[in-house]
């Protein structure tokens, strides 16, 4: 099968490319603009690892470049996984335009070509951020969506665009509402890696927002990879959206306590007030993914964090 994966230098895209390349014979084609939202050194290290595989091909360009995208689509893909986007909630207060460019214009360029080239399956990253602040948990896919930042709004817009654009059309589409994905090769702008980096840098100041009272449904990358692979081989009846979450909400302070047990040095934590783009709690229901795609078990948080810390201990230099 010929599979296109966007965002292959990113956290989820890299991990899924690696999974496909090591476990299947599929031809993996990929695109990333290697932007500088976070360490380009980390993105290049991920790509270097993927380039070892002969059935991996990489194209460096921005999805806003329609001409280059059109050229790549001449390859006729069976399936597209779309992970390239401007990620991050807080950055959307600083640079909202980058979300409009990548997540709206880049996204539309991609879906236009998917439709024109009659790609069979399209899986695209949405986010738990589409739900916004909610009081009723666990959040089901049928729950009203009401994002509270530009990032979440672009993801809501992606879901709505797909629904209208592919109505009555043969391409089967699934929007993947990821909830706080973490693990090996993770993102340095996210809490777990920020904390690990401050341990290694022996930083004596670690800022904890909302006085440590945030709760997140942490989802391990190993579970995510397995789900993404299950989607590939499953018959898809209708266009839909699914929560990709572990259904296990955990307070941030508990996560830091588990990590603390693995290291001697503990950064001094400064608790500070709530940041306005954040939501206080995420907790998704994963019954749809369990039922539709037969994913029964999720790796326990302690094991997943242990693996992440062990990986970081061996690879911390990539982050410096």
Ligand X SMILES: NC(=O)c1ccc[n+]([C@@H]2O[C@H](COP(=O)([O-])OP(=O)(O)OC[C@H]3O[C@@H](n4cnc5c(N)ncnc54)[C@H](O)[C@@H]3O)[C@@H](O)[C@H]2O)c1
Compare residues 65 and 203 and give the one whose CB is closer to ligand X.
65
CB of 264 to ligand X, least distance (A): 28
Compare residues 124 and 206 and give the one whose CB is closer to ligand X.
124
Give the helix, strand, coil percentages of the chain, each rounded to 5. 45, 20, 40
| Nearest-CB residue for ligand X | 10
The H or E element that residue 255 is part of is helix 252-260
Q: Does 247 bind ligand X (CB under 6 A)?
A: no
Contacts of 239 (CB under 8 A, 6+ apart): 162, 163, 166, 172, 173, 174
Contact window for ligand X (CB under 6 A) among 25-33, 49-57, 72-80, 248-256: 25-33
Three-state secondary structure call for residue 248: coil
| Interface residue with ligand X, options 34, 230, 269, 318 (CB under 6 A) | 34
Q: How far apart are CA 102 and CA 150, in angstroms?
A: 12
Q: How far apart are CA 45 and CA 170, in angstroms?
A: 37
Phi, psi of 282 (to 5 degrees): -125, 135
| Residues taking part in catalysis | 151
CB of 298 to ligand X, least distance (A): 15
The H or E element that residue 208 is part of is strand 206-208
CB of 243 to ligand X, least distance (A): 11
CB 186 within 8 A of CB 221: yes
Touching ligand X, residues 174-233 (CB under 6 A):
178, 180-181, 187
Phi, psi of 243 (to 5 degrees): -75, 135
Contact window for ligand X (CB under 6 A) among 10-18, 22-30, 271-279, 305-313: 10-18
| Interface residue with ligand X, options 4, 9, 119, 145 (CB under 6 A) | 9
Q: Which x/- pattern, by CB under 6 A, does the window 135-174 give for ligand X?
A: ----------------------------------------
Q: How far apart are CA 54 and CA 233, in angstroms?
A: 23
| Interface residue with ligand X, options 62, 184, 217, 223 (CB under 6 A) | 62
CB 21 within 8 A of CB 94: no
Compare residues 12 and 28 and give the one whose CB is closer to ligand X.
12
CB 273 within 8 A of CB 211: yes
| Interface residue with ligand X, options 3, 4, 5, 12 (CB under 6 A) | 12
Applying CB under 6 A, the residues found at the interface with ligand X are 7, 9-13, 31-35, 43, 62-64, 83-87, 102, 106, 125, 127, 178, 180-181, 187
């Amino acid at each position: 099968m010929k599979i296109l994966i966007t965002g292959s230098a990113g956290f989820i895209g890299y991990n899924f490319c690696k999974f496909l390349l090591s476990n299947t014979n599929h031809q993996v084609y990929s695109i990333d603009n290697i932007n500088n939202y976070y360490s380009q050194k980390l993105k290049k290290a991920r790509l270097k690892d993927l380039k070892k595989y002969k059935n991996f091909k990489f194209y460096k360009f921005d999805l806003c470049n329609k001409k280059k995208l059109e050229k790549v689509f001449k390859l006729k893909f069976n399936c597209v996984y779309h992970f390239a986007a401007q990620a991050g909630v807080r950055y959307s207060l600083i640079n909202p335009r980058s979300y409009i460019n990548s997540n709206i214009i880049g996204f539309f360029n991609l879906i236009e070509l998917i439709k024109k080239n009659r790609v069979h399956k399209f899986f695209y990253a949405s986010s738990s951020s589409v739900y916004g602040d909610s009081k009723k948990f666990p959040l089901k896919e049928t729950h009203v969506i009401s994002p509270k930042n530009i990032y979440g709004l672009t993801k809501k817009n992606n879901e709505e665009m797909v629904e209208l654009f592919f109505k009555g059309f043969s391409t089967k589409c699934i929007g993947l509402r990821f909830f706080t994905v973490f693990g090996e090769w993770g993102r340095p702008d996210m809490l777990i890696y920020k904390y690990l980096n401050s341990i290694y840098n022996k930083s004596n100041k670690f800022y904890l927002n909302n006085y440590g009272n945030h709760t997140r449904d942490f989802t391990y990358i190993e579970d995510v990879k397995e789900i993404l692979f299950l989607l590939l081989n499953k018959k898809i009846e209708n266009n839909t959206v699914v929560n990709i979450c572990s259904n296990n909400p955990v307070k941030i302070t508990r996560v830091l306590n588990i990590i603390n047990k693995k290291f001697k040095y503990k950064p001094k934590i400064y608790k500070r007030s709530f940041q306005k783009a954040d939501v206080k709690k995420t907790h998704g229901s994963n019954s749809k993914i369990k039922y539709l795609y037969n994913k029964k078990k999720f790796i326990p948080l302690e094991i997943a964090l242990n693996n992440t810390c062990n990986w970081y201990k061996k690879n911390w230099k990539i982050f410096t």
